[in-house]
Each structure stands twice: as structure tokens, then as C-alpha cells.
């Protein structure tokens, strides 16, 4: 009887602690997802603030969707590991969509510089590329053609970027920003980050088509997109 009472007492004391630990863990995961959204906005802001090494206004303004994999202390995009976690948004009649979380892995990468972390930016340039992205899983080079994007303040002299690829890719490492050759990489929905950020499972297509309201934590990325990726005249 005494042993039973002791066990019940210990259980009663440990339950709130375990519960608090789970809540803390969940909150930490949510912070990681929110931090990734904020970091994606910072990456795009820093790249576009560069005077001559940036994504041309015409190119960014013509993109249907923008996806960013920010370099992070943990879980960043590393050439040696060929894995990263990122966030994407697409144009909708109401503006940029609520963020969708994805993972990218595998494939081969140009401009490899050791095993360091880099920032990766992908621009989905047309409806075909957007449809591939909405499928929540596709392979660059197979399902969607990809090419290194042009760099500079303007790209008016380089007109074939509109026709040559569904996805234009860029990377930044050690201060170097340039178009990136990226083939064979598989992109798919990051379900864990999606649940952490929204508190529930939100299908990739639902968020990217603008069918879910963007939470406040999405504003750092979406406001940056609204600032730099204004629609280009076509």
C-alpha cells in the first residue's frame, strides 16, 4: 500500500514536468520554423541590397513563386550533405501566399566550395514550374528544368532566361553570389515544419494558392517579397 502511494505521488509530481517539457519542445520547434521564415526574408533582403550582384529586377519581378533555403546553424543547406529546409511563396490575386515549407536533398551542385553552408534561392518562372511546385514533390532536371539564373541589376540583354528553364537557381556563400547549376535535387513538403508553424497540417497547394491566411510570423518574408518582387511588365 505504501509503495503504491509513493508511486502515485511521484507520478503526480512528474506529470506537470513532463507536460511542460513537451510544451517547451513544441514551442522550440515552432521557433525554428518561424526563424526560418524570418531568415528567408533576411537572405533576400541582403542579396537584393547588393549594388551589382543581385537577382535582376526583371527576373524576380517575373517569378511566379520564390523559394529560399537560408543558411542556419543547424539544418542549413550544406553542399556535403546536400540537404536543406526552406520556405516558398507564390503570387496570388491577393498578393504573396502564406509560406509553404519544404526540404531539398540529393542532386549535384555547381560552384561547390568545400562543405560550407550556403543560401539557396530558387525562382519558379512559369505556370508549368508552379504546377510542379504545387504537386508538393518534384525533381529538378526531371520534372522541372532548372538553370543558373542571371545576376546583375538588369537582365534586359539576356532575354533567353524567360524561355530556358522553369526554375532559375542562385546561391550565396562566403560573400559570393552567383547563378547555381542544380540538377537532380528532390523538393518535397516539410510536414514537420508545416505543423510546427501552423499548428496543424496544411497541404502544400492550400498555402501556395492563397487558400489559407498567412499568420503574423510570415510577414518578415512576405513583406520582403512585396518590396523586391514587384510584378514586371510582360
Q: Quick: pLDDT tens for 154-179.
A: 665 555 666 567 889 888 876 777 77
Q: For the chain, how many structural domains are there in total?
A: 1
What's 153's DSSP letter?
S
190 lies in a domain? Answer: yes
pTM, to two decimals: 0.78
31 lies in a domain? Answer: no
Decide if pLDDT at 85 tops 80.
Answer: yes
Sign of the CA dihedral with 211 first, then 48, 72, and 223 last: negative
233 lies in a domain? Answer: no
20 lies in a domain? Answer: no
159 lies in a domain? Answer: yes
210 lies in a domain? Answer: yes
Query: Quick check: 73 and 116 in contact, CB under 8 A?
Result: no
Torsion of CA 88, 45, 178, 68, to 10 degrees: -10
Buried-exposed string 150-186: b where 16+ CB fall within 10 A, e elsewhere: bbeeebeebeebeeebbbbbbbbbeeebbbbbbbebb
C-alpha cell at 211: 487558400
82 lies in a domain? Answer: yes
pLDDT digit string (tens) for 197-224? 999 999 999 999 999 999 999 999 999 9
Q: Burial of 203 by CB count in 10 Å (0-12 exposed, 13-18 middle, 19+ buried)?
A: middle
pLDDT digit string (tens) for 26-84? 333 456 899 999 999 999 999 998 878 899 988 999 999 999 998 743 333 444 445 78
Structural domain of residue 193, as residue ranges? Answer: 42-228
Question: Which of 184, 138, 147, 180 has its CA nearest to residue 165?
Answer: 147
Amino acid at each position: 500500500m505504501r509503495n503504491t502511494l509513493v508511486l502515485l505521488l511521484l507520478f503526480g509530481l512528474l506529470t506537470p514536468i513532463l507536460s511542460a517539457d513537451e510544451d517547451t519542445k513544441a514551442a522550440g520547434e515552432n521557433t525554428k520554423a518561424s526563424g526560418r521564415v524570418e531568415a528567408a526574408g533576411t537572405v533576400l533582403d541582403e542579396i537584393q541590397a547588393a549594388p551589382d550582384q543581385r537577382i535582376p529586377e526583371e527576373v524576380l519581378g517575373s517569378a511566379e513563386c520564390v523559394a529560399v533555403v537560408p543558411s542556419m546553424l543547424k539544418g542549413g543547406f550544406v553542399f556535403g550533405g546536400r540537404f536543406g529546409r526552406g520556405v516558398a511563396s507564390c503570387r496570388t490575386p491577393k498578393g504573396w501566399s502564406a509560406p509553404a515549407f519544404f526540404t531539398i536533398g540529393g542532386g549535384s551542385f555547381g560552384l561547390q566550395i568545400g562543405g560550407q553552408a550556403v543560401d539557396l534561392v530558387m525562382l519558379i518562372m512559369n505556370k508549368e514550374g508552379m504546377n510542379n511546385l504545387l504537386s508538393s514533390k518534384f525533381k529538378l532536371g526531371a520534372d522541372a528544368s532548372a538553370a543558373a539564373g542571371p545576376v546583375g541589376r538588369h537582365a534586359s540583354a539576356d532575354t533567353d532566361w524567360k524561355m530556358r528553364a522553369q526554375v532559375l537557381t542562385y546561391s550565396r556563400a562566403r560573400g559570393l553570389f552567383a547563378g547555381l547549376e542544380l540538377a537532380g535535387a528532390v523538393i518535397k513538403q516539410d510536414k514537420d515544419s508545416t505543423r510546427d508553424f501552423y499548428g496543424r497540417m496544411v497541404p502544400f497547394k492550400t498555402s501556395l494558392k492563397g487558400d489559407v491566411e498567412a499568420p503574423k510570423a510570415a510577414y518578415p518574408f512576405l513583406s520582403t517579397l512585396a518590396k523586391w518582387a514587384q510584378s514586371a511588365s510582360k
